[in-house]
Chain A
Amino acid sequence: MKAKKHLKWNTKCKFCLLPSLIGTAIFFVIPYIRVLYYSVIDNQFRRNFVWLDNYIDTLTNEYFLLALKNSLLLIVICVPVLIILALVISLALSYGIKWIRKTRFAFVLPMVIPTASVALIWRSVFAENTTVLPIYLLFIWKNIGICIVLLTAAFTSIEKSICEAARLDGANSLVLHTRITVPMIAPTVFFTVLLSIVNSFRIFKESYLYYGTNYPPDHSYTLQYYMNNNFLKLDYQSLATSAVLTSILVFGIVMVGMAIQRRYNR
């Protein structure tokens, strides 16, 4: 009797998953399978299998390569700057004096500010589009909030006695934080890095609202422009192929990131 009731409870709990699973299947998973199919046929009407031809076309397309290069540059340059800045600010917010803690809103607020609202001011300040700097600054400005939220949450979960003991042993702030507090929250730092890399793939909105065009200067042409423009041209094959390639890239990054985190946790 008891076993039967237990089974029923388990089934009920499984039913709770259903709405989300069905919605995810309809809007993400099943259409994604069709995207995979689109990426290996020649076009919607003839539907001949061309296997990897679209992939070869995409991977040799100069705009795709330019977009890929710019997307990777954004990761390599901005993510380290973002993480280090977020770490320093989070440390100050967690361990600093009361006055510093009051500045939290200035760093966290940007994460909820709609990009459309601030893109205007960015456009007025940076009148010339000769470098990619405004986009990098916008990326850091917009993404530092979530990093700080996650990092300060982790710092405040460290027990105070650990820091006090280190202080008694004569550790100064620099030693305390580089040797003890930051290493203690390493899993969170990893996750923040991962999230920031992934968010760097989302820069399209910021860039689009800043430039206000589908054809930005070459230095700011990222993967998302490539895909967005194929969307507007209704070029499903290029679009599907680049969507699949981007998803493989992101999937790889997430898997590697999670593997590193798991290893570190041990």
Chain B
Amino acid sequence: MKKLNAVIFTLLAAVFILPVIATVALSFMVGGMPSMQGYADLLFDCFVFYPQFWNSVIYAAVITIVQLAVIIPCAFGFSQAQFKGKGALFVSYIVLMMMPLQVTILPNYIGLRDIGLIDTPLAIILPAIFSPFGVVVMHQYMKNIDSSIIEAARLETNSVVRIIITGVVPQIRVCIFAVVLFVFADCWNMVEQPMLFLKDDSLKTLSVFIANAGDFSGRVLFPAAVLFLIPVMILYMFFNEYLEKGLTLGELS
């Protein structure tokens, strides 16, 4: 029985991982023969690949880092401050978190257009920084931290910034790692925003490059897809063990 289970699970796992393996395998094939030609074409002939790859890296990295600077204090504020309507405010963050992109993208667009940021890198970066997901996850996690450390830190310093850095951040390390992986992967996967907020091709991301497949010869696509996988895979290898401990979203209400 145990052996049968193990066999079934190995097969199931193989089915789930197959798309990734097949993508990698096909990137080394051209016209049914093993070949590096796809990579050669992509890296030496396809000049839009480089700026779009780096755009993806820069957008995702900037969004992730700045977002941490916004959501850690915000989650801290939610757990420490006492005021009327706090519960309702937090519920509205949850509701916003649940809203599909197609609901939020029009408000995002209008907000960006009014400030005059359409067709600039900030159009991609700014709305994503204020994505509510991290606030909800971190506030949830902070319910279980040791408040005596914060109390002790308050005796030593008056600066909230220092209290957060010395008293809070070390305690929520695991949650931060999980959020970094999740947010980075989410930004890395952006398709709609660069398509709708940017006109200039040199500002777009690699996901748009792959989405507009028809513009390029087919053989560069699988290599591009593989190179597009690598940064998130590296991040995944470092941080995936923290996912279960960091994302404690089970009991929200």
**Residues of chain A whose beta carbon lies under 8 Å from any beta carbon of chain B:** 9-10, 12-17, 19-21, 23-24, 26-32, 34-35, 89, 92, 96-97, 99-100, 103, 105-122, 124, 141, 144, 146, 149-150, 152-154, 156, 185, 187-188, 191, 194-195, 198, 201-202, 204-205, 208-209, 212, 223-224, 227-228, 231, 236, 239-240, 243, 246-247, 250-251, 253-254, 258, 261-262, 265
- Could you jot down 26 A-B contacts, CB within 8 Å? A14-B81, A14-B83, A15-B77, A20-B130, A26-B111, A27-B111, A31-B109, A97-B5, A108-B240, A112-B181, A112-B185, A114-B228, A115-B189, A116-B207, A120-B225, A188-B250, A194-B98, A198-B98, A201-B102, A204-B100, A205-B101, A224-B102, A231-B106, A246-B100, A247-B99, A265-B251
Q: Does B146 sit within 8 A of A, measured CB to CB?
A: no
| Min CB gap B153→A, angstroms | 12
Contact A265-B253, Cβ < 8 Å, known A100-B5, A114-B188: yes
- By Cβ-Cβ distance, the 5 closest A-B pairs, closest first, are A16-B77, A188-B250, A31-B107, A23-B130, A13-B81
Complex Cα distance, B240 from A89, in Å, reads: 17
Contact A150-B250, Cβ < 8 Å, known A120-B23, A141-B19, A240-B106: yes
Complex Cα distance, B248 from A191, in Å, reads: 11
Name which of B10, B82, B98 has the most chain A CB atoms within 10 A of its CB: B98
Complex Cα distance, B209 from A212, in Å, reads: 12
Contact A149-B244, Cβ < 8 Å, known A247-B99, A261-B252, A262-B253: yes
| Min CB gap B208→A, angstroms | 8
> By DSSP majority rule, is chain B's interface helix, strand, loop, or mixed?
helix
Would A150 and B102 count as touching, CB distance under 8 A?
A: no
In chain B, positions 183-197 with a C-beta closer than 8 Å to chain A are: 185, 188-189, 191-192, 196
Would B94 and A254 count as touching, CB distance under 8 A?
A: yes
Would B107 and A224 count as touching, CB distance under 8 A?
A: no
Instruction: Give every chain A residue within 8 A of B108 (Cβ-Cβ).
Output: 27-28, 31
Instruction: Give every chain B residue within 8 A of A110 (Cβ-Cβ).
Output: 16, 19-20
* Contact partner, B132, options A24, A96, A144, A239, Cβ 8 Å: A24
Would A116 and B5 count as touching, CB distance under 8 A?
A: no
* Contact partner, B96, options A24, A103, A185, Cβ 8 Å: A24
Instruction: Give every chain B residue within 8 A of A10 (Cβ-Cβ).
Output: 80-83
Instruction: Give every chain A residue within 8 A of B206 (Cβ-Cβ).
Output: 116
* Contact partner, B74, options A16, A96, A188, A240, Cβ 8 Å: A16
Complex Cα distance, B248 from A154, in Å, reads: 8
Instruction: Give every chain A residue within 8 A of B69 (Cβ-Cβ).
Output: 19
| Min CB gap A96→B, angstroms | 7
In chain B, positions 169-226 with a C-beta closer than 8 Å to chain A are: 181, 185, 188-189, 191-192, 196, 206-207, 210-211, 213-214, 221-222, 225-226
Would B244 and A156 count as touching, CB distance under 8 A?
A: yes
Would B16 and A202 count as touching, CB distance under 8 A?
A: no
Instruction: Give every chain B residue within 8 A of A114 (Cβ-Cβ).
Output: 185, 188-189, 207, 228-229, 232
Would A118 and B253 count as touching, CB distance under 8 A?
A: no
Instruction: Give every chain B residue within 8 A of A239 (Cβ-Cβ).
Output: 106
Instruction: Give every chain B residue within 8 A of A144 (Cβ-Cβ).
Output: 16
Instruction: Give every chain A residue within 8 A of B191 (Cβ-Cβ).
Output: 115-116, 205, 208-209
Contact A191-B252, Cβ < 8 Å, known A23-B129, A121-B19, A250-B98: yes
Q: Does B88 sit within 8 A of A, measured CB to CB?
A: no
Q: Does B135 sit within 8 A of A, measured CB to CB?
A: yes
Would A16 and B81 count as touching, CB distance under 8 A?
A: yes
Complex Cα distance, B179 from A112, in Å, reads: 12
Complex Cα distance, B233 from A115, in Å, reads: 13
Instruction: Give every chain A residue within 8 A of B77 (Cβ-Cβ).
Output: 13-17
Would B98 and A153 count as touching, CB distance under 8 A?
A: no
